[in-house]
Structure 1
Amino acid sequence: MCAESTPAPVTPPTQTEPGLVTGLVVFAGTLMVVVGVFHALVGIAALVDDKIYVTTPNYIYSADIAMWGWLHLLLGILVAVVGIAVLRGRAWGRVVGIGLGALGLVANFLFIPYHPLWSVLIIALEVAIIWALATYRDARDDTS
């Protein structure tokens, strides 16, 4: 006679955590593309008409509006490209995305005197991007 073995108990998969994590990465990648386009539009606006932004003569971090235009345009292109890499599941995209998010935070903090409400909004979006990318955990890495 054959000895019957009892099957191992089946534990139901937890749908909330992997779905949430995947959702956060999709959220971060999509938000990176949107923020990249926003950066690029701000940069183009500064390059086309430098009178569009308020200049503050005694601001300690003052710079030429054209410099801000090029900075935002290049940063926007980089953020959008890395956002696409994040959406495609590239690990380097998440790491570079965190770095670009931090760079975007600093750039928009220094840009506050020129466009305060816009800069604060983009800073909040950059924080959300960094948080979503930093909390990523691959569902395959879960051993519990």
Structure 2
Amino acid sequence: MSESTPHPHPSHPHAHTEHPHGEHPHQESNALASGGVMFAGVLLMLEGMFSAIAGISAIAKDDVYTRLGDYVFELNLTSWGWIHLVVGVIAFITGAGVLKGAAWARTLGVTIAALVVLLQFLWLPYQPIWSLVTIALAVFVIWALCTDTGREPAPHVD
């Protein structure tokens, strides 16, 4: 007589259930997160380029940006320019690292994106709409880099 392995009950957490198109639910969410990581890398590189350009503009000429109203957090534009330039260069390099799949780039990417959120909040009086757009994109970058572990899901064993 041959021994047969018992099949798990359908309500068992490891029971195999069929899904449309033969996909497992984790595959779909992992694919979304992986695509999000690639997009996050591109967004970090673009943020780096735009931030560097804004920094160079502020360093070169103090009258490029005008402040809208009073704001609690004030720095002169030359200081803001240097901050934007340095953060921009680091963001660009980090974005390139994310695209190459470097592990250090994910951690640094989350840190840089959080720093970008803070800096853009402080930059609101100079470019309010662009700052809000950049904050939203940086939040997406944080989400994308935190949700994808970079590993394939464990294979399903029947």
Q: TM-score, normalised by structure 1?
A: 0.84
Does residue 47 of the first structure (1) align with residue 93 of the second (2)? no
- Within 5 Å, which residues of 2 pair with 1:40-79? 40-55=52-67, 58-79=70-91
- C-alpha distance in 2, partners of 1:76/1:143? 40
Does residue 88 of the first structure (1) align with residue 100 of the second (2)? yes
**Does the 8 Å CA contact 1:35/1:125 hold for their aligned counterparts?**
no
| Distance 1:56-1:23 versus aligned 2 partners, 3 A rule | closer
Q: TM-score, normalised by structure 2?
A: 0.77
Q: CA deviation at 1:51?
A: 0.4
Structure 2 residue aligned with 1:131: 143
Does residue 26 of the first structure (1) align with residue 38 of the second (2)? yes
- C-alpha distance in 2, partners of 1:53/1:136? 38
| Distance 1:21-1:58 versus aligned 2 partners, 3 A rule | closer
- C-alpha distance in 1, partners of 2:92/2:154? 30
Let me know the Cα RMSD of the aligned residues: 2.4
Residue deviations 1:49-101 (CA, integer Å, cap 9, x gap): 21011135742111110000000011000001000011110111111100111
Q: SS of the residue aligned with 1:140?
A: coil
**Does the 8 Å CA contact 2:40/2:95 hold for their aligned counterparts?**
yes
Query: How much identity, in percent, do the aligned residues show?
Result: 36
Using the TM superposition, name which of 105-114 and 57-66 deviates more: 57-66
In structure 1, the gaps of 5 or more residues are none
Using the TM superposition, name which of 104-113 and 128-137 deviates more: 128-137
How many residue pairs match? The answer is 138
Does residue 107 of the first structure (1) align with residue 124 of the second (2)? no
Using the TM superposition, name which of 42-51 and 62-71 deviates more: 42-51
